[in-house]
């Protein structure tokens, strides 16, 4: 995300892993490979919030002044996040709290079933892109208001064509038509009234009062509200289902993209997962950028877009070999390593006090070494950092470790209760699962 110019994105949608203590493992039918996707939050709520806010502040910088930001959350964390989001975007720029009813039934033994997610929709300023959307009228609404029918155009309702007293007189709208001259005038000029009448759109009541006929088939529908109960989750046998455990329905993202961006705009999803936002943006004629920590997810997105005939996307930053890693400059290598374990970056790039980052949510120190044979001195250095930070756990990421380093880590755990996880770049390139993460 750091590579994106400031104020270059028109719409940002993110669906970060929920604060729900869950693990997911999925088999993708297309390749019969087993991929691990986690929705994993070990640690406190504040740590989770800080993890997201660090990234959202950067997103705010990338958003155009007329842009919009959407975040998809569940009930565990939504309103804690709202307090912090108000600080970033401004309370006045919260346009909606959207309730998406994702399922109609959920059994909870001792409380009402949780059947909804929350989406917060913020604008960056008071001027933002907004395209009103409409849904079909309910059958009850149609029965109540569209009570009349004609043979050619179907159901219609009667609307006012003459002005009321509250609207006041208008000289150019005060005229007689077919012997009828309203006291306060008509709502349209004579020429338009004549055209409406010729088209069969004026109906006269038994008392001689004219009305305008509005046909159901020509109406936009009912304006959407902040409660969305008409979009179903991705069903087990749905054509769009990819097997991604938290996959959102395409219709949900199409609604968001349609309402808060225009064709040709740039859409960003910084937790793009299996690429639903990317497909919605592609289908609706928007440009898009997808970011995900998982190299597997990026491959899945590429395959998904290929299936709908989209041009091959440009993939940036996808490191696949140790050779590519060795060509990165020190800071890029450090960023890659911290991202690979979903860690939090140290804000100090120089004089970092021996800490390059912190483990995901539990905030244990991480040291990153662009070396092949990390030995005992690095372990001793990290122990000093842990003593200073009053911590008992830490992590070192490198290309390889000496026997001395591995032996010292084992001794520290056995004799001092200090846990240091040693991770190699090859492990991270292959993908590390939750069970392999001890911190």
Q: What is the pLDDT of residues 99-113, one digit of tens each?
A: 999 887 777 778 898
Residue-wise over 366-376: b if at least 16 C-beta within 10 A, else e? bbbbbeeebbb
3-state secondary structure of 184: coil
- Give every strand in the sheet of 419-424, ordered side by side: 344-345, 357-358, 365-368, 393-398, 419-424
Given this model, what pLDDT does residue 143 score? 95
CB 247 within 8 A of CB 274: yes
CA 367 to chain centre: 31
pLDDT tier at 247, thresholds 50, 70, 90: confident
| CATH 3.30.1330 is held by the domain 322-436 | no
* pLDDT band at residue 329 using 50, 70 and 90 as cut-offs: confident
CA distance 266 to 17: 23
The size of the chain, in residues, is 439
Give span(s): CATH 3.40.1340, the chain. Answer: 322-436
Measure CA 178 to chain center: 58
Q: What pLDDT was estimated at residue 246?
A: 77
- Model confidence over 337-379: pLDDT tens digits? 887 887 887 876 555 688 999 987 688 999 999 999 999 999 9
Phi, psi of 300 (to 5 degrees): -65, -40
Q: Are 201 and 213 in contact (CB under 8 A)?
A: yes
Residue with structure tokens 């070990």? Answer: 42
| Per-residue pLDDT at 406 exceeds 50 | yes
Fold of 9-132+224-307: Rossmann fold (3.40.50)
Residue 65 falls in which region: left (phi positive, over 0), alpha (psi -120 to 50) or beta: alpha
**CATH 3.40.50.150 residue spans of the chain:** 9-132+224-307
Rg (Cα) of the chain, in Å, rounded?
A: 30
- Whole-angstrom distance, CA of residue 268 vs CA of residue 291: 8
Distance CA 271, CA 34 (A): 20
- Total-model pTM: 0.68
């Amino acid at each position: 995300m750091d590579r994106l110019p400031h104020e270059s994105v028109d719409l940002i949608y993110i669906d970060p892993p929920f604060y729900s203590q869950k693990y997911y493992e999925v088999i993708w039918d297309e390749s019969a490979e087993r991929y691990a996707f986690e929705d994993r939050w070990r640690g406190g709520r504040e740590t989770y919030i800080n993890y997201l806010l660090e990234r959202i502040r950067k997103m705010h910088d990338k958003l155009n002044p007329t842009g919009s930001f959407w975040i998809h959350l569940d009930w565990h964390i939504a309103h804690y996040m709202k307090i912090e989001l108000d600080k970033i975007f401004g309370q006045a720029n919260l346009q909606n709290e959207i309730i998406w009813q994702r399922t109609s039934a959920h059994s909870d033994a001792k409380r009402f079933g949780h059947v909804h997610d929350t989406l917060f929709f913020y604008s960056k300023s008071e001027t933002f892109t907004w395209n009103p959307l409409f849904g079909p009228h309910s059958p009850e609404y149609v029965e109540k208001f569209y009570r009349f029918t004609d043979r050619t155009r179907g159901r219609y309702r009667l609307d006012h064509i003459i002005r009321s007293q509250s609207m006041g007189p208008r000289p150019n709208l005060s005229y007689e038509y077919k012997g009828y001259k309203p006291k306060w005038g008509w709502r349209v000029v004579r020429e338009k009234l004549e055209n409406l009448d010729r088209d069969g759109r004026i109906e006269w009541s038994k008392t001689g009062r004219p009305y305008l006929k509005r046909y159901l088939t020509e109406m936009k529908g009912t304006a959407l509200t902040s409660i969305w109960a008409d979009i179903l989750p991705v069903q087990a046998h749905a054509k769009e289902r990819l097997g991604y455990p938290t996959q959102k329905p395409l219709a949900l993202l199409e609604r968001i993209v349609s309402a808060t961006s225009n064709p040709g705009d740039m859409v960003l999803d910084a937790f793009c997962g299996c690429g639903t936002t990317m497909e919605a943006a592609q289908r609706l004629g928007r440009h898009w950028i997808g970011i995900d920590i998982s190299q597997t997810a990026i491959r899945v997105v590429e395959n998904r877009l290929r299936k709908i005939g989209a041009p091959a996307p440009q993939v940036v930053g996808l490191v696949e070999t140790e050779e590519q890693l060795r060509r990165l400059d020190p800071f890029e290598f450090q960023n890659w390593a911290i991202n690979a374990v979903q860690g939090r970056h140290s804000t100090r790039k120089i004089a970092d006090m021996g800490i390059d980052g912190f483990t995901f949510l539990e905030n244990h120190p991480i040291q990153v070494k662009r070396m092949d044979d990390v030995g005992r001195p690095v372990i001793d250095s990290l122990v000093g950092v842990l003593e200073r930070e009053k911590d008992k756990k830490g992590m070192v990421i490198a290309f390889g470790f000496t026997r001395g380093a591995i032996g010292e880590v084992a001794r520290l755990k056995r004799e001092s209760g200090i846990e240091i996880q040693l991770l190699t770049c090859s492990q991270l390139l292959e993908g590390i699962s939750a069970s392999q993460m001890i911190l």
